[in-house]
């Protein structure tokens, strides 16, 4: 099967922190435009872009991906078939390969992973 691209965005917590820091840097930039001229304007523009980026990630469900990961089909996590595991475990018990105690212990392990 064809590889699948997964886009990963930054979490809400770091994005919110970046958004707040961006607002602070915009305010600093607005104060420096009259002192530093073009440098203050560039500073403010960059702070605005960073603030918008973090604001989108912090306040929207979709967000802006930070990076992308390509996974092939065999690398994706497979769903666990708990019913099949329990059936196989029961067969081991019925065939005398494991004891009732071992069966119960393993059954609890399987069921605890499911929930």
20-57: per-residue pLDDT in tens? 999 999 999 999 899 999 999 999 999 999 999 999 98
Higher pLDDT pick, 73 / 107: 107
Confidence check: pLDDT of 75 > 70:
no
Confidence check: pLDDT of 17 > 80:
yes
Spatial neighbors of 22 by CB under 8 A, at least 6 apart, are 47, 48, 50, 51, 52, 54, 55
pTM of the model as a whole: 0.55
């Amino acid at each position: 099967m064809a590889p699948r691209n997964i886009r990963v965005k930054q979490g809400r917590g770091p994005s919110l922190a970046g958004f707040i820091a961006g607002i602070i840097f915009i305010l600093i930039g607005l104060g420096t435009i009259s002192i530093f001229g073009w440098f203050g304007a560039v500073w403010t523009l960059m702070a605005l872009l960073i603030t918008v980026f973090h604001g989108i990630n912090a306040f929207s469900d979709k967000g802006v991906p930070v990076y992308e990961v390509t996974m092939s089909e065999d690398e994706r996590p497979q769903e666990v078939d708990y019913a099949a595991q329990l059936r196989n475990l029961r067969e081991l018990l019925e065939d005398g390969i494991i004891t009732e105690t071992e069966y119960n212990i393993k059954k609890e392990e399987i069921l605890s992973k499911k929930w």
